[in-house]
Amino acid sequence: MNITCNRRDFLKTATIGVTAMSFSARSYARIMGANERIRIGQIGCGGRGRLAHMVGIHKHDKIENAEYVAVSDPWRIVREQAAEQCKEWYGTNVKQFVSYRDVLACKDVDAVMIASPDHHHSIQLEAAAKAGKHIYVEKPMARNMKELLRAVDAVKEAGVVVQVGTQVRSLPTSTGCNELWKSGLLGKASRIEQCRNSEKPYWYRYVKQEVKKEDLDWDEFTMGITKRPFDPVLYSGWYGYLEFNDGPVSQFGSHYIDLVHYITGAEHPTSCVCNGGIFTWIDENKFSVPDHVEALWVYPQGFMVTFSCNTGQSGGSRHRYFCEKGQLNLDNWSAPNYTAEGGPKRDGSIRGVNEVKAIETPDHFQDWLQCMRSGKTTRAPIEAGYRHAVACLMGVESFKTGHRMLFNAEKRKIYAG
């Protein structure tokens, strides 16, 4: 294996004229042949990177002719674990880097998978696009509109293949729900809601007191977000701190809103209000992310969408689409069903409890690999990521400011109103 990496060349390339970069990236996307191996760099080697991205790709790497060739992470322990995992699979030593910048500087890396902390996503997405790499990026794509627009515009300019990590839309049952919706059997929606509850906030399970300062590049992790000194809990439990994470609306809510958009065809809400707080889990960790939050969006199609997350009590979880002729029940989104229950205009066309017919599709990882060769649009392209990111950012801004937030799609602007 001959991986050529030159960080100086990468930094030069990232600043060259837009026209040259755009042409190079678009040309590269078109000529990726069926017999060419897709060489992947993993950015972020924590649980999501190693156990979801890497394992998910490995399921398809032989049939799709793909292979990991580089890994990066500020924490040495997980970086080495990822490299060892690759050696077991491929029998070769992949390149290991502390910084994502060095992965992007590898000329022989065709594509990258971004599974880093939330405050890294938009920066790395933009940089990867400018480097001409195909990209799989976790949600949320950005933490503010300025970062989101820079990243989205860079992807559009580069013409690279992007898959956003809202993998629920690739479930066969999700495709089935989309087809059911398009049939008009349920009629017009009035309210769509999800309550996603748990006994304890998800960030607690990531806390690792054993992280050592000498094993971590603290500055690479923080990216200037905070001046606080190294702290193993602050690092490993970053999901629970507002410096690095915006809470359940941008986390779980991204999946939910993206699925609403996919099933219904809606694109952008017109308004959002959001509130919440820390009501249950107050302890020595001093987490600042709310353990309960509730957001409500209004869509121009004439329905409301609500998302509630109570991480201090697991009862009451549900996921429903309330329509004039019945309702779609996704409480178990791998086995959804629909009935005429509650429909004010039910007409007898729906009787009893009906399973949604699943429609087989490639999984989210395989779809990305295949689209790099075919040039087809991925299941969760950059446009879909932009749409759910906007909705979630409206919720985040409403929570932060206490104001109702509006969105102007033409001006690509969120504002209080």
Worst-scoring range by mean pLDDT, 15-29, 230-244, 307-321, 380-394? Answer: 15-29
Q: Is the pLDDT of residue 229 over 70?
A: yes
Q: Using the predicted structure, report yes or no on whether residue 21 has a pLDDT greater than 70.
A: no
pLDDT digits (tens, 9 = 90+) for 255-288: 999 999 999 999 999 999 999 999 999 999 999 9
Mean per-residue pLDDT over the chain, rounded:
93
Q: For residues 193 and 319, is the Cβ–Cβ distance under 8 A?
A: yes
Helical (H) or strand (E) element with 356: none
Tell me the average pLDDT across 171-177: 97
Can you tell me the mean pLDDT for 211-231?
97
Does the pTM exceed 0.75?
yes
17 has pLDDT over 50? no
What backbone phi and psi angles, to 5 degrees, belong to 364?
A: -60, -40
- Given a cut of 50, is residue 11 above it in pLDDT? no
What's residue 42's pLDDT? 98
Looking at residue 20, its pLDDT comes to 34
Q: Is the pLDDT of residue 4 over 80?
A: no
Residue 15 above 80 pLDDT?
Answer: no
Share of the chain above pLDDT 70, in %: 92
For strands 38-43 and 111-114, give the pairing. parallel
Q: Domain-by-domain residue ranges, the chain?
A: 7-160, 169-359+390-416
CATH superfamily, domain 169-359+390-416, is Dihydrodipicolinate Reductase; domain 2 (3.30.360.10)
288-291 CB contacts, 8 Å cutoff, 24+ apart: 288/240, 288/241, 288/242, 288/243, 289/201, 289/203, 289/239, 289/240, 289/241, 289/242, 289/245, 289/246, 289/247, 289/248, 290/247, 290/248, 290/399, 291/201
* CATH top class, domain 7-160: alpha beta
Asked whether the predicted pLDDT for residue 28 surpasses 50, the reply is no
Q: Is the pLDDT of residue 5 over 80?
A: no
> Taking 70 as the threshold, does the pLDDT of residue 26 lie above it?
no
* Chain segment 81-101, per-residue pLDDT in tens: 999 999 999 999 999 999 999
The percent of residues in the chain predicted with pLDDT above 90, rounded, is 91
Average the pLDDT over 408-414 and give the result: 97
In the prediction, which pLDDT does 354 show?
98
| Residue recorded with tokens 């007409």 | 347
Q: Tell me the residue type at 62.
A: K
Cis peptide bond prior to 117, omega within 30° of 0:
no
pLDDT attached to residue 35: 73
The whole-number average pLDDT for the span 151-164 is 98
Tokens of 114: 């971004």
Q: Which tokens belong to 161?
A: 């293949």
pLDDT at position 178 over 50: yes
For 321, the token pair is 């689409």
b/e per residue 180-216 (b: at least 16 CB within 10 A):
bbeeebbbebeebbbbbbbeebebeeebeeebeeeeb
pLDDT digits (tens, 9 = 90+) for 300-351: 999 999 999 999 999 999 999 999 999 999 999 889 999 999 999 999 999 9
**357-405, pLDDT tens digit by residue?**
999 999 999 999 999 999 999 999 999 999 999 999 999 999 999 999 9
The pLDDT confidence band at residue 230, using thresholds 50, 70 and 90, is very high
Mean pLDDT on 102-114? 97
Does 415 score more than 80 pLDDT?
yes
**Of the candidates 231, 235, 177, the residue with the CA atom closest to the CA atom of residue 203:** 235
Q: Is the pLDDT of residue 6 over 80?
A: no
